[in-house]
């Protein structure tokens, strides 16, 4: 079957509204001959809404026409809009317990299935108006989530999410916690798996390319290479997350890390780069397995 590599790129649209950043990221993936999957935020600050943004629609549809893919990322990408945020992300803001408490105080009243349903329905509606189709895969902003969200996702006819992380060390590395970063989350397999009886998670292995400095490239790349070897020992699917504001940044550092990682992937694992659309199609056709149920 061969190894496959999936690059998912979060936050273009309602969160990162600067189209020049998206275009820089897109050009990079074009140069690398890597089809990317953009997780697009449908709504954002300043009354921004994807289906009313002709320049963005042209850019995203043009990217899809050239082999890239677009899927759905949250609604407004504000705070904890689909439930609490995972600890590894809360910890980026400093003290973990204080951060948890702050988010809980601010957002607990929004953590209800009917609120999730309303928001997801609006998000799917905007996406469908923009692309003329339903999204295949949903990822929340900051990976906010709780179990009941996945019942809502399934009730609204969505089968795929990409919302749980196999290796949280990528986020520990962001705060330079290199000495005692832990290991993979034993509850999140590295390969696509049934998260509930109706929803499949396409696991995010990690994030390696978040706002780098030149000094960070070597350790973050080493983590990515290690993860890739471990993942491919278990299956054919390796899916990472990166962010458009980093890949499209003018410093080029995220691009440098990804370029080197793509080279290792091609040389050592002979990978094929595919999109989430391809991954879903492979699963639906039965050519890629889904673990557990």
The residues binding Zn ion (CB under 5 A) are 10-11, 141
Nearest distance, CB of residue 28 and Zn ion, angstroms = 19
- Our CB check for Zn ion shows the closer of 4 and 26 to be 26
The count of residues in the chain is 293
φ/ψ of residue 173, rounded to 5: -65, -30
Nearest distance, CB of residue 39 and Zn ion, angstroms = 7
Q: Tokens at residue 267, please?
A: 């040389």
- Our CB check for Zn ion shows the closer of 89 and 288 to be 89
Nearest distance, CB of residue 73 and Zn ion, angstroms = 6
- Our CB check for Zn ion shows the closer of 11 and 69 to be 11
- The answer to whether the CB of 138 falls within 8 A of the CB of 163 is yes
Nearest distance, CB of residue 69 and Zn ion, angstroms = 16
- Our CB check for Zn ion shows the closer of 39 and 150 to be 39
Taking CB atoms, the residue at the shortest distance from Zn ion is 10
Nearest distance, CB of residue 197 and Zn ion, angstroms = 27
Question: H helices of 204-252, where?
Answer: 214-234, 244-247
Sequential DSSP letters for 44-110: ETTTEEGGG-HHHHHHHHHHHHTT-EEEEE-SS--TTTTSPPPHHHHGGGS-HHHHHHHHHHHHGGG
- Our CB check for Zn ion shows the closer of 53 and 245 to be 245
**How distant, in Å, are the alpha carbons of 3, 230, 231 from that of 10?**
23, 24, 22
């Amino acid at each position: 079957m061969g190894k496959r590599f999936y690059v998912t790129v979060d936050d273009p649209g309602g969160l990162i509204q600067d189209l020049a950043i998206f275009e820089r990221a897109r050009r990079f993936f074009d140069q690398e001959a890597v089809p990317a999957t953009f997780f697009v935020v449908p709504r954002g600050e300043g009354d921004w809404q994807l289906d009313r943004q002709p320049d963005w629609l042209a850019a995203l549809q043009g990217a899809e026409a050239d082999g890239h893919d677009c899927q759905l990322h949250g609604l407004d990408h504000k705070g904890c809009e689909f439930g609490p945020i995972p600890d590894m992300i809360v910890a980026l803001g400093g003290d973990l317990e204080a951060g948890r408490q702050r988010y809980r105080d601010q957002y607990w009243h929004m953590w209800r299935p009917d609120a999730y349903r309303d928001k997801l329905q609006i998000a799917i509606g905007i996406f469908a108006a923009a692309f003329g189709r339903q999204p295949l895969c949903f990822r929340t902003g900051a990976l906010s989530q709780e179990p009941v969200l996945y019942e809502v996702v399934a009730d609204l006819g969505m089968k795929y999410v990409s919302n749980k992380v196999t290796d949280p060390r990528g986020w520990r590395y962001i705060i330079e916690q290199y000495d005692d970063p832990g290991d993979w989350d034993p509850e999140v397999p590295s390969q696509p798996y049934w998260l509930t009886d109706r929803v499949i998670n396409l696991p995010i292995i990690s994030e390696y390319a978040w706002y780098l400095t030149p000094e960070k490239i070597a350790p973050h790349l080493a983590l990515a290479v290690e993860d890739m070897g471990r993942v491919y020992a278990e299956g054919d699917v390796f899916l990472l997350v990166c962010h458009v504001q980093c890949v499209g940044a003018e410093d080029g550092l995220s691009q440098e890390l990804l370029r080197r990682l793509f080279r290792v992937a091609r040389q050592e694992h002979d990978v094929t780069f595919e999109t989430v659309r391809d991954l879903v199609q492979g699963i639906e056709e039965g050519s890629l397995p889904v673990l557990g149920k």
